[in-house]
Chain A
Amino acid sequence: MSRFLVRRLLLTLPVLFFVSVIVFSLISLIPGDPARVLLGEEVSTDALEVLRKQLGLDRPLHIRYLYWLGRIVKGDFGKSVRDGRPVLDTLLQKLPTTIELAITSLIVAWAIAIPAGVLAAWKRRSAWDYGATTVALAGISIPNFWLGIMLIYLLAVNLRLLPPSGYVEPWIDLSRNLRLMVMPSIVLGSALAALVMRILRSSLIEVLGTDYVRTAHAKGLNDRTVVLKHAMKNAMIPVVTIMGLQLSGLLGGAIITETIFAIPGLGRLAVESILTRDYPMVQGVVLFAALAVVITNLAVDMIYASLDPRIRLEERTA
């Protein structure tokens, strides 16, 4: 176990290194003079010089990278060009909103995907199966920004069932907060539901064909117990293994969803800072998102390795 832990941690280090290089390159690759890009055209040459020095533009690239990395490790993500506030403060301030959206969307996604996936695999090649797989394909194909706009039109503009957009903190007005979260969660959850359902379906079909499931049937257990108690435990492994991928989908989708529904989270912050050319903020959001995915993947692998000995063995023989 400890060997697996060390190996997995060591493999994460180069990934983190490349993540940092990519994020650093994003701002270094901006065509032209970064200082001018950051400050705009109408600025004095003195101010430009100060910022160039501050950014270390007079030094070679690899030295700049090391300085930048040193600051990041110390938690200094730089300052926003727009409001001058530390980037990390803004990120941490917006984080809870996005976490709330991610959790409600995940609930929506799993609530749809797990029953649908089980039913499709259990009643394979039935109308249920074809129905569920077709709906899942449609769910993957439907652009979430369109789904969002159509839901606003239908539920808010036409039927006036829900408020169209906006955000209220849950501790200020919980019921309004939840009403505001319904449509964004459906939009963000539906694409994820389709992915989870497809994976659960194929993994459950695979498990249902194994010997231990046949044994369970042979000793006279009914279908329901075999599928829900015996097969599901193993079939859920791939679904939970791709938590990193799901989180990645949620963070990416949050960009669109938060923009459409005017939710002040990390996604909308990303769009706003890109449109206003607030590059330190862009860098901060991108780095933050990638770190979240890397850490989730690492955590999932660790938890699974401790629960399922086969995963450790597989790694050793690989």
Chain B
Amino acid sequence: MRRSADAILTGLPAGGATTPRYGFGYLLRRYARNRLALIGLWVVLLIIGLAIFAPWIAPHNPIKTNFENLLKPPASTHIMGTDDLGRDILSRIIYGTRTSLLAGVISVGIAVAIGLPLGLLAGFYRGRLDDVLMRLTDAMLSFPFLVLALAMAAVLGAGLDRAMIAIGIVFTPGFVRLSRGQVLSEREQNYVEAARASGAGDGRIIWRHILPNIVSPVLVQASLSTAAAITAEAALSFLGLGTQPPTPSWGSMLNIAQAYLGSAPWMALWPGLAIFITVLSINLTGDGLREALDPRLRSV
């Protein structure tokens, strides 16, 4: 009845979500049955395309100022209008995909790289290491997410690279808890016993047997965390602690737009819409992935 906090936080069922391993094609077909998830995936791919091919797609230089073109509303030459320094907003939005995706992927990468091994070890060996790690993650999870990210960014200093480290560290306890919980139920399975009976050492059991079985929930959490990390980077940049000018970042574009809300509302409309669409499509993809990887969720 009462679901564990982890299950509530991750949206995954309590206990191990052991996913039977199917072929990639099978998973793809299952995924494609969810139309919203499919739309989300296409939008994500489109955004990745925009980020990669930004120099060829963007109509103007995103950081070149033009003082004869300040605060121009959307028109044929500048489809999304220009900002307070006469820069083309569409081009800044297109280049901004790079900042956002980079922030999302790198910070989640940091969180997985630290959190997954710690969770594996804590869940497998239990004991004092597990006790200490769990209380430490409890403590870290007691800090409101943005409060801790902000304080860390303040200590590390402003800048995209530091913001990514701060967000990555703040996300780490979530991955420690998730992977530990998964390992706890996996280590009791027969296949682990069988592997041990056939002479496999701890390292081999963790790496070759348990890890492949806990990859799917970690993957799902990673995709959903990427969306949250993109919002967090935008929030830090909005507050002046993330990406620094003149590098295009949706969060800092919104920060500047606040001052021109009465005279140039389009400056606030586009970057916010870009964050919203990106985060929504990644969330849709993550939710679809979760359903495709865990058949039991179909019934909920």
Contacts and interface: CB of A to CB of B under 8 A. Distances in A.
Contacts of A31: 157
B166 to A, nearest CB: 11
A18 interface: yes
Contacts of B251: 145
A26 interface: yes
Contacts of B155: 26-27, 29-30
Q: Is the interface of B mostly helix, strand, loop or mixed?
A: helix
Contacts of B1: 206-207, 210, 234, 237, 310
A45 interface: no
A29 B273 CA distance: 37
Interface residues of B, number: 56
Given A202-B300, A289-B147, A282 B154 contact: yes
Interface string B56-88: 000000000000000000000000000000000
Contact of A15 (B138, B239, B273): B138
A202 B1 CA distance: 11
Contacts of B234: 143, 145
Nearest to A297: B142
B275 interface: yes
A252 B2 contact: no
Interface in B283-297: 283-284, 287
A271 B3 CA distance: 35
Interface string B261-289: 11001001101110110011001100100
Residue among B135, B145, B234, B287 with the highest chain A CB neighbour number at 10 A: B135
A17 B271 CA distance: 41
Contact of A140 (B145, B254, B283): B283
Nearest to A314: B2
Given A15-B135, A137-B287, A149-B268, A293 B241 contact: no
A134 B144 CA distance: 26
B164 interface: no
A213 to B, nearest CB: 12
B235 interface: yes
A117 to B, nearest CB: 14
Contacts of A150: 268-269, 272
Interface stretch (A46-54, A64-72, A219-227, A255-263): A255-263
Contacts of A17: 135, 139
Interface in B211-270: 227, 231, 234-235, 238-241, 251, 254, 257-258, 261-262, 265, 268-269
A245 B227 CA distance: 19
Interface in A197-224: 198-199, 202-203, 205-207, 210
B114 interface: no
B235 A290 contact: no
B261 A256 contact: no
A18 B257 contact: no
Interface string A285-318: 1100110011001000000000010110010000
A249 B144 contact: yes
Contacts of B283: 137, 140-141
Residue among B9, B148, B152 with the highest chain A CB neighbour number at 10 A: B148
B241 A242 contact: no
The 3 residue pairs across chains A and B that have the minimum distance between CB atoms: A146-B272, A18-B139, A252-B144
22 contacts: A16-B139, A26-B151, A138-B276, A141-B227, A145-B254, A146-B272, A146-B276, A150-B269, A157-B262, A202-B11, A203-B3, A237-B2, A238-B8, A241-B8, A248-B144, A252-B144, A253-B146, A255-B146, A277-B154, A286-B148, A289-B144, A293-B144
Interface of A: 11, 14-19, 21-22, 26-27, 29-31, 134, 137-138, 140-143, 145-146, 149-150, 152-153, 157, 198-199, 202-203, 205-207, 210, 234, 237-238, 241-242, 244-245, 248-249, 251-253, 255-256, 259-260, 270-271, 274-275, 277, 282, 285-286, 289-290, 293-294, 297, 308, 310-311, 314
